[in-house]
Amino acid sequence: MRHVASCVSILFLCQAAMANETLNLDGLSPRADPKASLPVCENTPYDKSNCVRALACIGSDGVYFDGQAHGWDTGILIGFLDDGTPCNGEWVAGGPQTPGRASMICENGVEANVLYHTLNNESGTVIGSGLDNQGREITAWSGEKVLQFLTGPDDDTPVLPCGPAPIPIS
């Protein structure tokens, strides 16, 4: 009888432990949004604490960067590729006749270099282009109103033109 009670106890303990397990199926399990780990981003013109959204298409197969540009005149880039790979880099503003420069390295080995032109200094709005270390073309945007810039006239949803189909972003 003591043996049966021990087996029943073990069975209940195993059942409770298994109930706390999470089943992960590739492509089917929800994953945490890596952008949730980024700091609060607020446009503060002419201040080193300035922060604006930064987005970039890397190639034409749907790969993109979503992150933030921090600083004024010079600063850092932080964010993630669409698959959650962390990336960081730096940027330096250009002058009235010279482009700004940005470079970024991601944990999966992707390195990117972009030259950009400022469209609106106070809102941090820039558009740029460049290449990554795999030879893929990059188009980059940043600014307080970058989502409005990427929203078409006939739609309310901003999209990144990074592949065969537009990629909705928010």
Amino acid found at 155: D
Whether 14 shows a pLDDT value over 50: the answer reads no
Going by pLDDT thresholds of 50, 70 and 90, the confidence category of residue 108 is very high
Quick check: 111 and 99 in contact, CB under 8 A? no
Report the pLDDT value the prediction gives residue 35, as an integer from 0 to 100.
Answer: 64
The DSSP H or E segment spanning 2 is helix 2-19
Whether 6 shows a pLDDT value over 50: the answer reads no
Report the pLDDT value the prediction gives residue 154, as an integer from 0 to 100.
Answer: 82
Enumerate domains of the chain plus CATH numbers.
Answer: 35-168 (2.40.128)
Report the pLDDT value the prediction gives residue 81, as an integer from 0 to 100.
Answer: 97
The CA distance from 161 to 9, in Å, is 58
The CA distance from 44 to 103, in Å, is 22
Query: Which one has a higher pLDDT value, 34 or 92?
Result: 92
Share of residues in the chain with pLDDT > 90 (%): 60
Global pTM? 0.78
The CA distance from 5 to 63, in Å, is 57
For the stretch 106-113, contacts whose Cβ atoms lie closer than 8 Å and that sit 24 or more positions apart, written own/partner, are: 106/81, 108/81, 109/133, 110/58, 110/81, 110/85, 110/134, 112/56, 112/58, 112/65, 112/138
The CA distance from 106 to 170, in Å, is 22
